Amino acid sequence: MNLTPHTKTIFTVAAVLNIVGSLSALAAMPLHLQLFYGHGSEDVLVKFYHYNFWFVVLVMGIGYAIVARNPSQNQGLILIGSIGKLAAAVSWLIMYALGEATPLVLAGVAYDGSFGILFLLVFWQMRSGSMV
């Protein structure tokens, strides 16, 4: 399947979802922790890592917007984005398997895993010359 006609759309959608998702998680941390992990936290370290994680998600969303403008010139960002998406999906899956997260994280696993695979397919097609 040649993803060429869809590449800009894939990265635009990922950019919007990352930016909106990260801003909502940053703005409503107690609610986010409750929904995703079943509890809030007053622990400074938890808050620190929460804000750092979602700030990175925001930055990655900006990166996806850059890729959407010119995918062929941003292959490195595509690979980094794929690795990031797949790592997030695996991390949330582990948290769920350990009983440390609610079933809502499975939506994140599906989202990040799907886009991580799409990004890898786009990267692979670009590297193999399947995309022009």
| Structural domains in the chain (count) | 1
Range(s) of the domain holding residue 34: 4-128
Sign of CA dihedral 119, 123, 128, 132: positive
At 85, give phi and psi (nearest 5°): -60, -45
Model confidence, pTM: 0.89
Residues 3 and 127 sit within 8 Å (Cβ to Cβ)? no
List per-residue pLDDT tens for the chain, 132 residues long.
667 778 999 999 999 999 999 999 999 999 999 999 998 888 899 899 999 999 999 999 999 999 999 999 999 999 999 999 999 999 999 999 999 999 999 999 999 999 999 999 999 999 887 554
**Closest residue by Cα to residue 92 from 114, 78, 107, 72:** 107
Which contacts qualify for 74-83: CB closer than 8 Å, 24 or more apart?
75/123, 75/126, 75/127, 78/119, 78/122, 78/123, 78/126, 79/119, 79/123, 81/14, 81/115, 81/116, 81/119, 82/116, 82/117, 82/119, 82/120, 82/123, 83/116
Total residue count of the chain as it appears in this document: 132
